[in-house]
């Protein structure tokens, strides 16, 4: 795929179309933000420090700036009133623009606040993590923690525009890069074996060549675009994006969040593949085709103990379950990803244990 730095993508949504621009530097991406109306910025404190120089002109022009630490505890319903209060005190109006600078946490908070202020005001986004750039920035969802439950509250409220600067990736913790790559592997696997093989073949270069990373960020968003444009509200086809997530969330919960999200998702895909293969669904050669790169992406975490009881207990609480059956996203005999109901019986439990105790340890 040929690509230039000024490339862009348009996404159709219930709230009108929005644009994703691909940039190299943070300064270029900041330059995309319209200055024709008052701007209020909600930004990640760490990103503010690391990219202070590039962001300075934008911050100087802003009517108000609200630094927030990217902590799950801050992405909660309890913290929303304080942000609303600060924005109100800063004189925010319906025709102003709200801008989020940061990863998924800042995205979720800003998206939610933009959706409720004045019954909805415009917002824009400069995603600073790979996960947000390659995955969460499109798709309209906000997810807010409430009553001690992660992502309990939310709605669908897309931004007006998004500018992706690959320069942000350079300052990320390596585990956050791998976490983002996990979601990129997921999106490509959903698109089919040819797409997965393409990103798997380029795997090493993702970490060393910015142009290759950008190519696959764009490809990931293109695949996701096709799905969210037909099922923005996640009623059917979009469900497949939960591939690796039921197992992944259960692994996160069972390990007390010792495994970063996208890395747990990578392990979750490998686990879904294993279970599917042992159920006689996914051909063994497909498991073997995908395992090496999935395994590399969770390398170092294969030894983290995952107590099978705690994992199954977390799996049984998944909000997608139907009755006592688990609702899982598994590859079928054609290597296509689909939603299946699986009873959490002894055989299922054995397959999970097999994976956790043995299969995931294999290089
Ligand atoms: N709304 C959605 O569709 C959606 C989808 C997936 C995930 N999420 C949510 O996103 C959150 C996770 O987001 P995330 O993984 O993007 O990261 P994050 O926002 O949790 O940030 C991760 C860490 O990276 C730091 N950071 C951010 N940008 C940086 C940069 N350029 N350089 C150095 N450090 C930087 C942050 O300060 C933080 O310490 C979760 O709360 C999850 O529920 C939402
Ligand atoms: Zn995810």
Give the Cα separation of 184 and 220 in Å (integer).
6
Q: What is the pLDDT of residues 122-172, one digit of tens each?
A: 999 999 999 999 999 999 999 999 998 889 999 999 999 999 999 999 999
pLDDT band at 2 (very low <50, low <70, confident <90, very high): very low
Q: Which ligand 1 atom minimizes the distance to the CA of 132?
A: 16
Nearest CA to ligand 1 atom 7: 104
Mean pLDDT of 72-89: 97
Residue with the two structure tokens 């970063």: 260
Mean pLDDT of the residues in the chain: 95
CB 304 within 8 A of CB 259: yes
Q: Where are the beta strands (DSSP E) in 95-253?
A: 97-102, 123-127, 144-146, 149-153, 161-165
* DSSP at 135: I
Neighbours of 333 (CB within 10 A): 11
Give the pLDDT of residue 175.
97
Residue 39's beta-bridge partner residues? Answer: 97
Which ligand ends up closest to the CA of 260?
A: 1
Cα–Cα nearest to 109, from 132, 136, 77: 77
Say if residue 3's pLDDT is above 80: no
* pLDDT confidence of residue 317: 86
Task: Give the Cβ contact number of residue 265 at 10 Å.
Answer: 30
Ligand nearest, relative to CA of residue 128: 1
Could you report the per-residue pLDDT of 288-320, keeping only the tens digit for each?
Answer: 999 999 999 999 999 999 999 999 999 998 878
Residue nearest to atom 18 of ligand 1 (CA): 103
Atom of ligand 1 nearest to the CA of 130: 16
Q: Is the pLDDT of residue 1 over 60?
A: no
Composition of the chain by helix, strand, coil, percent to 5: 50, 15, 30
Secondary element (H or E) of residue 20: strand 18-23
Ligand 2 centroid vs 266 CA: distance in angstroms?
10
Query: Which residues does a 6 A CB cutoff place in the pocket of ligand 1?
Result: 44, 46-47, 50, 70, 72, 75, 102-108, 128-129, 131-132, 136, 139, 141-143, 151, 168, 171-172, 176, 179
């Amino acid at each position: 795929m040929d690509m230039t730095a000024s490339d862009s993508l348009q996404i159709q949504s219930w709230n009108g179309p929005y644009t994703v621009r691909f940039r190299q530097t943070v300064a270029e991406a900041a330059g995309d933000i319209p200055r024709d109306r008052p701007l209020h910025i909600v930004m990640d404190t760490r990103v503010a420090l690391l990219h202070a120089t590039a962001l300075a002109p934008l911050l100087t022009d802003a009517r108000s700036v609200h630094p927030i630490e990217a902590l799950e505890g801050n992405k909660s319903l309890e913290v929303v009133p304080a942000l609303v209060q600060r924005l109100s005190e800063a004189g925010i109006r319906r025709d102003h623009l709200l801008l989020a600078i940061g990863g998924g946490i800042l995205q979720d908070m800003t998206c939610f606040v933009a959706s409720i202020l004045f019954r909805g005001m415009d917002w824009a986004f400069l995603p600073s993590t790979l996960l947000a750039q390659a995955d969460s920035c499109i798709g309209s969802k906000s997810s807010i923690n409430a009553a001690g439950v992660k992502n309990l509250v939310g709605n669908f409220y897309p931004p007006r525009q998004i500018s992706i600067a690959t320069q942000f990736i350079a300052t990320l913790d390596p585990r956050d890069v791998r976490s983002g790559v996990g979601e990129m592997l997921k999106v490509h696997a959903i698109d089919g074996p040819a797409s997965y093989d393409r990103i798997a073949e380029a795997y090493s270069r993702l970490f060393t060549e910015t142009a290759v990373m950008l190519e696959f960020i764009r490809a990931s968003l293109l695949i996701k675009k096709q799905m969210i444009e037909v099922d923005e509200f996640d009623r059917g086809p979009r469900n497949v994006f939960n591939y690796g997530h039921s197992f992944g969330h259960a692994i996160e919960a069972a390990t007390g969040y010792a495994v970063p999200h996208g890395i747990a998702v990578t392990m979750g895909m490998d686990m879904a593949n294993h279970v599917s293969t042992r159920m006689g669904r996914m051909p063994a050669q497909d498991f073997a085709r995908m395992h090496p790169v999935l395994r590399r992406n969770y390398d170092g975490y294969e030894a983290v103990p995952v107590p099978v009881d705690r994992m199954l207990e977390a799996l049984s609480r998944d909000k997608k379950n139907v009755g006592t059956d688990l609702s899982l996203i598994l590859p079928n005999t054609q290597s296509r990803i689909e939603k299946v109901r699986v009873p959490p019986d002894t055989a299922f439990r054995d397959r999970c244990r097999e994976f956790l105790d043995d299969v995931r340890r294999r290089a």
